[in-house]
Amino acid sequence: MTPLLELRLIDLNALSWTRRGAAALAIAAAVAAHAGKPSSDPCLPGEALPDQVLIELEGSTAIADVLAAIQPDFPTVTVLEAAPELGYFVLAAPPPVCELDLIAALMAVPGVEEADFNEIGQTSESQSQSFFFALESDYSSQYAWPLLGLSEAHAVSLGEGALVAIIDTGLDASHPVFAGATILAGLDFVGDELGAGDLGDGIDNDNDGVTDEMVGHGTFVAGLIHTIAPQATILPLRAIDTEGNGSAFAVAQAVGAALAAGADVINLSFSSTDANDLLSSMIEQAQSAGVVVVTAAGNSSVIGEAPFPADMSGILAVAATNAKDIKADFSNAGGFVDLSAPGVAIASTMPADAYAFTDGTSMAAAMVSGGAALVRAHEPLFTGAQIRAKLKSSAVPIDALNPGLAGKLGAGRLDLAAAVDALTASADLDGDGAVNGADLGLLIGAWGTAAADLNGDGTTNGSDLGILLAAWTR
């Protein structure tokens, strides 16, 4: 594949194109290098929004009481944004308030669970990647699908019943690829009044010389997930703005919304150089509820150092590989990586009925999120940890193809067919090539022991029965 053309993104709100080709050219985006610059302010270390502090309150604590407690020393601090259902609040800390001092004061107030900076993170692709014009045929026939065994996986699972929340720049659900898809009403946590439709505002909000460079990122990710798990339900949650940036508060709200909606999988295309305790807490709540959280490993070509939240325990952090299972030059790698997936020259959907090529670990993460939905649909009794384990145990080993990177590309490259077929094969307890009453008898006879442990939790129980029934030969 040779990219035909690379163009700057223009204002989608001003478009009135009727021909698909013209619309495709309009949204083809060239992304200027954009990386957050660490602050030199001793009161605001790292990458965070100035004059803001993010806090989490214990259940019965009133924000008014917290403000009253700090009022003598910080009389100008007020509530800027609130998510009371999560116990989260953003406080305005106008100069000369020192954010670091305010955080220390807040942590001394009874009922304040956590206080932190309102960190800024980005989609990995907002730093260096580009979108290039593509055709529908490029999308439907790309190398990733046969490499992952997509058609074989679809013979077993289509993702029915799984709910995938996509935390990104929004979603243009009118794209023809999503015809017939189950897409819930999107929610917008950015606050720029654009809604969740993946549109630009025509303004260079981050002053990097490029306008709306990440419009379409969410639609691109959603197209990949929908193709892998076409019967899964999609919940678009916009927490990343048109430039590819998002605050910890916005992303935490989106994670909370995904949890409240009953999401099975969260695709989180967001990374930061600085960890955020409050966002970590929200992600951990989702994991505790059995949600599979998938994130990109990052596009900085760094080996060993993990960005946040890819560094969190229990997250599926995904590196990018090419058509030959070689690590992409741009992809981060290290012991924090759990899986690899195709992320080079990937084609997918863009707003205005268009298609584009791009590279990135966000694309690789989307492949894994789709795979998680397939496994969830095939094994509805699996826990989130069991889904993660199945995706990893069924991966194709690629260490030998990547000298010097042994153990740094996770369990291997995602294999969708093996992730679901391995489950069916394991349920054939008597080895006769079918899953039927004979296997059911063997499983019941092994109840409470490890003899017919199909999900690897050490005992034969109801979860294993669910696997066997789902694999029943029809």
Catalytic residue among 34, 175, 217, 226: 217
**Is 168 one of the annotated active-site residues of the chain?**
yes
DSSP-based helix, strand, coil % in the chain, nearest 5: 30, 20, 50
313 belongs to the catalytic site = no
> Can you read off the two tokens belonging to residue 117?
């900076």
Check the CA dihedral 403-406-408-414 and report its sign.
Answer: positive
- Under 8 Å between Cβ of 412 and 396: yes
Distance of CA 416 to the CA centre of its chain: 18
380 three-state secondary structure: coil
* Beta bridge pairs of residue 342: 321
Contacts of 72 (CB under 8 A, 6+ apart): none
- What is the dihedral sign for C-alpha 192, 196, 202, 208? positive
Per-residue b or e along 98-116, where b marks 16 or more CB atoms closer than 10 Å to that residue's CB: bbeebbebbeebebbbbbb
Known active-site residue 226: no
The span from the CA of 353 to the CA of 137, in Å, is 13
Question: Burial of 317 by CB count in 10 Å (0-12 exposed, 13-18 middle, 19+ buried)?
Answer: buried
SS3 165: strand
Q: How many helices (H) and strands (E) does the chain have?
A: 14, 17
In the set 116, 138, 168, 353, the catalytic residue is 168
Phi/psi for 210 (5° steps) reads: -130, 135
Q: Is 204 within 8 Å of 159 (Cβ atoms)?
A: no
**Cβ–Cβ < 8 Å for 320, 358:** no
Amino acid at 67: L
Tokens at residue 207, please? 């002053």
Show the beta-strand stretches assigned E in 240-337. Answer: 245-247, 265-268, 292-296, 316-321
Looking at 126, 362, 369, 394, which residue is catalytic?
A: 362
| Enzyme catalytic residues | 168, 217, 362
